[in-house]
Amino acid sequence: MSSIKEQFNQISPSEFFYSNRDLAGFSNPTRSLYTAVREFVENALDACDQKGILPDVHLIIKAVDPDKPDPKPYILTVKDNGPGIDADHIPLAFGTVLYGSKFGLKQARGMFGLGATMAILYGQITTNQPVTVKSSVDGVTQDVFELLLDIQKNKPVIVQHTTKEVSKKGLSVSICLEGDYSKAGNKIRDYVYETSLITPYASITFDDPKGEKFSHPRFVKEIPPPPTIIRPHPHGIDVERIRRMIVESQFEIPTIDDAMIEKVRKDLGLSVKSFTFAAIMEKAKKKWKTLPRQVRVVISLMSFLKMDFEKLNKIKIEDIDMPNKKLYYWDFGDSQSKSVDMDPESQYYKQLTNTVQGEPLTTFLTKRFQRIGPTTAVKFAEYAGFKPEKRMGTLSNQELVDLSDALQKFEDFMAPDSTCLAPLGAEPLEKGIKKFFNPDFAAVVQRPASAYSGFPFIIEMGIAYGGDIKTGGPHVYRYANRIPLLYDEGSDVVLKVVNETDWGRYKVKGEPPFIIVSHICSTRIPYKTAGKENVADRPEIERELKLALQLLSRKLAAYMSKRGQADMAKKRANLYAKYIPLIAEFCTELAGKKKEPNYKKIINENVIESKQTVEEENEIGDN
């Protein structure tokens, strides 16, 4: 028998992403250039959105040596007018993988700023050039950094740091990377074009390597309301999440009255005479293991308050804020609220955490979750088979699992709060569609918020027909959290829903000039792959997409049938104009007349009166 010694090395996040870069969309020079553009543009737009700034984003791609054949190094620069980043944070933000500010439950284009760092990393390994970050948070001074990433240590290396005076706030990031613009160009132009459709309040310009300039000025002056960070919805919860919430939650405050003090004194085996704080603690330490939980809690509290029994009698505990390590109490003597800090390293702190029972279930539900009121909480407790006053801290593992299941199955919760979502809004979307396609018909809908696995989402959809739209439709423009999705459309849920629609039913036939714009907003888009290009077919999302599409399709059908009637009337008028003169000619000779009959009346009447019900070939006779 031989034993194999395995060596385990901890690898840094940078190293991990370095070796798995194709996961994040950096598989080849074409895709990488496109992905890098996306990451920086989206970061710029997110930064502006969060501060309510109308974004001006300027994208520049320049070949280092224009005469070289693709793939070759390009300099990619994205400038914005956003809030900028503090000089202190810049090295970490751009020189570390998994550093970012976008945590929390709300809708944003990207998460954790991961993609941008990946792009920087990709640039560095393909061209060995540093990233240049220029940032001004005050519109007066600008910090200019040149950074490299230490891949093994996952730490930034500052190559150069200077400051200069500027007149505008904002961030500019510039990287050098190997790319293939001749192949990626189409997608990048599409990306910029489609982004400006879903971000009508942004001005986006793009200077491409061939010297072409693409400019998409904003045509909506108002930013849609920014998303807020919110509590989770019960349908989106799992056991682990509940466990963490219980740990995070504030604890039940024991009432310290005369009886309680008496109990503590008794349990410590102390006589009625006064004892100093130090003496009490000394005694408690010795007898700790024999003390009941309630007494332990009181002792723990006393340890932070540094009070003896006499002083303890004159205060009332108000709040124990475990996460913030603060103990609040009301001093009857001074008639004011006071607080002391708790040392999280002390054994008493742990005692408080471990022993306090936690909130009653109903309080836990109403306080920790969105959109649950006391009545619903009680109803739910009954449904789940828990006492409403059941303390969260006393739940067994099995009970936790039961609670989690019940939370997901209970149907009387209100729909998830969608304030954490930032849909574009029906009006700007319609404006965008009309501006981009100049259609004969357009309709948009914003579905009410819904949830899959507890993650709220909203479907916005638009449909347009005719005008400048190319034939061969439906052409589908897919968006998720205001990002256009350009690749891998074959396996996308939106395409699935569109393809399953029988357009003939909606009077859309042949190769129609027809587009569909679909926007899915969610705190978490269920992408099929890390490349963020296609959305998985969750039944809840599929259902909402279908409902949105059906609603719009019915509107389209109504339009099409009107259009069809008008077409028919026109066609009929043309037919009359073509055939009636012939009939007149033939019957004139047949009837042996010289002059043709006055048939103009019929034709003229029917050009004007173009709504004419078709007279069917009616069978007359006796059966």
Q: Give the C-alpha separation, 377 to 362, whole Å.
A: 5
Rounded to a whole number of angstroms, the minimum distance from the CB of residue 569 to another protein is 10
Minimum distance, C-beta of residue 70 to another protein, in the bound complex (Å): 55
Q: Which is nearer to another protein, 111 or 566 (CB)?
A: 566
Q: Which of 536, 602, 607, 610 binds another protein (CB under 8 A)?
A: 602
CB nearer to another protein: pick between 259 and 620: 620
CB of 563 to another protein, least distance (A): 17
Q: Which residues pair with 171 in a beta bridge?
A: 135
Q: Least CB distance from residue 553 to another protein, whole Å?
A: 28
Among 2, 167, 276, 618, binds another protein (CB under 8 A): 618
Decide: helix, strand or coil at residue 59: strand
DSSP bridge partners of 463: 443, 516
**Min CB(568)–another protein separation in Å:** 8
Is 607 near another protein (CB under 8 A)? no
Contact yes or no for 179/32 (Cβ under 8 A): yes
Of the pair 167, 598, the CB lying nearest another protein is at 598
Shortest Å distance, C-beta 465 to another protein:
25
CB 107 within 8 A of CB 157: no
**Cα distance between residue 109 and residue 519, in whole Å:** 12
Residues between 535 and 594 that touch another protein (CB under 8 A): 568, 571-572, 575-576, 579-580, 582-584, 586-593
Q: Where are the beta strands (DSSP E) in 180-298?
A: 203-207, 213-216
Let me know if 5 is exposed, middle or buried by CB neighbors in 10 A (0-12, 13-18, 19+). exposed
| Rounded Cα gap, residues 512 and 503, in angstroms | 10
| Cα gap 218→199, rounded to integer Å | 8
The nearer residue to another protein, 257 or 596, going by C-beta atoms, is 596
| Dist. CA 358–CA 381, nearest whole Å | 16
4 binds another protein (CB under 8 A): no
Taking alpha carbons only, the member of 570, 485, 554, 555 closest to residue 525 is 485
Q: Which of 88, 411, 511, 622 binds another protein (CB under 8 A)?
A: 622
CB crowding 403-418: b at 16 or more within 10 Å, else e: bbebbeebeebeebbb
500/487 Cα distance (integer angstroms):
20
Binding mask 182-201 for another protein (x = CB under 8 A): --------------------
- Considering the complex, what minimum distance in angstroms separates the CB of residue 417 from another protein? 57
Count of residues in contact with another protein, rule CB under 8 A: 35
- 305 phi/psi in degrees, rounded to 5: -75, -25
Of residues 53 and 573, the one with the C-beta less far from another protein: 573
Is the CB of 505 or the CB of 600 nearer to another protein? 600
Kindly state the smallest distance separating residue 623's Cβ from another protein, in Å: 7
Residue 281 phi, psi dihedral angles, 5° rounding: -65, -35
Six-digit token string for 263 = 């109990």
Which residue number, 562 or 593, has a Cβ lying nearer to another protein? 593
Among 13, 388, 467, 597, binds another protein (CB under 8 A): 597
Q: Which is nearer to another protein, 4 or 582 (CB)?
A: 582
HSE, side-chain direction, 13 A CA sphere, residue 436: 30
State both tokens at 351.
């005692």
Segment lying near another protein (by CB under 8 A), choices 94-102, 287-295, 409-417, 607-615: 607-615
DSSP letter at 147?
E
Stretch that binds another protein, among 137-145, 328-336, 385-393, 610-618 (CB under 8 A): 610-618
DSSP state letter for 501: S
Shortest spacing between CB 594 and another protein, in angstroms: 11
Distance of closest approach, residue 616 Cβ to another protein, in angstroms = 7
Considering the rule CB under 8 A, would residue 616 count as an interface residue with another protein?
yes
Calpha distance 37→454 (Å, rounded)? 32
- Name the residue nearer to another protein (CB basis): 281 or 577: 577
User: What minimum distance in Å lies between the beta carbon of 508 and another protein?
Assistant: 23
Closer CB to another protein, 286 or 571, in the complex: 571
The answer to whether the CB of 298 falls within 8 A of the CB of 256 is yes
Q: What is the contact surface with another protein in residues (CB under 8 A)?
A: 568, 571-572, 575-576, 579-580, 582-584, 586-593, 597-599, 601-602, 605, 612, 614-623
